[in-house]
Amino acid sequence: MKLRLNIAELFSQWSFLSKKQSTPIYLQPAWPFLLGLFAIVPLACVYLFLVSNMGAIAQVEKEISALEVRSKLSKKAYQRRVDFKNHYAGSDKEYVPNHLEKLHFLSIERALLHQIKEHPAFRDFAPLQIGTKGFFQLNKQLGFTRESSRSKFGFTESIYRQEKPVFGSFSDLAYLLSWTEGVIVDSAWPNACRPQLVVTEFHLDKQKILGEKEVFSLSCNLLHRDVDICTD
């Protein structure tokens, strides 16, 4: 009797399970599918948003990088202006007429020839008097014309053009180079009042005037830049 009951019970459980498995899929609960859908939709929206705005994000990053570069360049340019103003704060705004045009070239040679000319032994020596006449007529002093000026960022720039060639020795050229470029040349030292000078044109020719003595013909143009207003 007990065995029959167990068999009947097992049969009833198998019948219940078979009915449960044979339930159509469209009659099964839908909540697992809906939960999965609700989890995927936000992620898909975020992905689509990022993909659609990828170009705009890249452009923003590019603009930020460009701003950083411009900021660094602006800081460097500002620091260069500050350094320039500090370096040339005491420069002479009229440096060209007050200093360069006061240089006298061939002064040693001129003094020596003058002594020879005036010596009693050569005072009436015509070849010497005639030969040295051309030397004493040479232009031995610089002369410039200021052609244009402009002011910007607290600086003044002027263009100076040499009026006519000047004649000088190697020692004279050393002084001129030292006083324009701000460097030590031979025994010539830079002038403390020098502003920033840039040689824009330069012509140099060797002349045969005093025999073996080196004499040069020089012409140049200059860009004169100095501090206009000493502000940061």
Q: Are residues 99 and 41 in the same domain?
A: no
pLDDT the model gives residue 44 = 67
Q: How many domains does the chain have?
A: 2
Question: Does residue 89 fall inside a structural domain?
Answer: no
Which pLDDT belongs to residue 14?
46
3-state secondary structure of 226: strand
- Are 107 and 16 part of one and the same domain? no
Q: Show the DSSP H helices in 119-169 as ranges.
A: 126-136
Q: Is the pLDDT of residue 113 over 70?
A: yes
Question: Which of residues 161 and 1 earns the better pLDDT score?
Answer: 161
Whether residue 137 is contained in a domain is answered as: yes
pLDDT of residue 203: 92
Do residue 120 and residue 31 come from a single domain? Answer: no
User: In the chain, what is the greatest distance between 2 CA atoms, to the nearest angstrom?
Assistant: 171
List the one residue out of 123, 105, 127, 103 whose CA is nearest residue 115: 123
- Give the torsion through C-alpha atoms of 127, 216, 218, 117, to 10 deg: -30
Q: Is 183 a member of any domain? A: yes
Give yes or no: residues 222 and 154 share one domain. yes
DSSP 68-117: HHHHHHHHHHHHHHHHHHHHSTT--TTHHHHTGGG-BTTHHHHHHHHHHH
**Same-domain pairing of 117 and 41:** no
Residue 66 lies in a domain: no
Mean predicted confidence (pLDDT) in 33-61: 68
Residues 223 and 156 in one domain: yes
Are 43 and 111 found together in one domain?
A: no
Q: What is the pLDDT of residues 3-39, one digit of tens each?
A: 444 555 544 554 544 444 444 544 455 556 556 666 6
Span 56-103, pLDDT tens digits: 767 777 888 888 888 888 888 888 888 888 888 888 889 999 999 999
Q: Are residues 219 and 106 in the same domain?
A: yes
Q: What is the pLDDT of residue 191?
A: 87
Do both 41 and 129 map to the same domain? no
Q: How far apart are CA 145 and CA 161, in angstroms?
A: 5
Residue 169 lies in a domain: yes
Whether 189 is covered by a domain: the verdict is yes
Whether residues 125 and 35 fall in one domain: no
Which candidate, 230, 168, 155, 165, places its Cα nearest to that of 198? 155
Residue range 142-163: average pLDDT? 88
The mean pLDDT of 137-157, rounded to a whole number, is 85
Per the prediction, the chain carries an average pLDDT of: 76
Tokens of 195: 């502003």
Considering the domain boundaries, does residue 68 fall inside one? Answer: no
Residues 214 and 117 in one domain: yes
Angle between helices 54-87 and 31-52 (to 10 degrees): 40
Query: Are 48 and 102 in a shared domain?
Result: no
In-domain check, residue 232: no
Give the residue numbers spanning the domain of 41. 2-52
The pLDDT value recorded for residue 229 is: 53
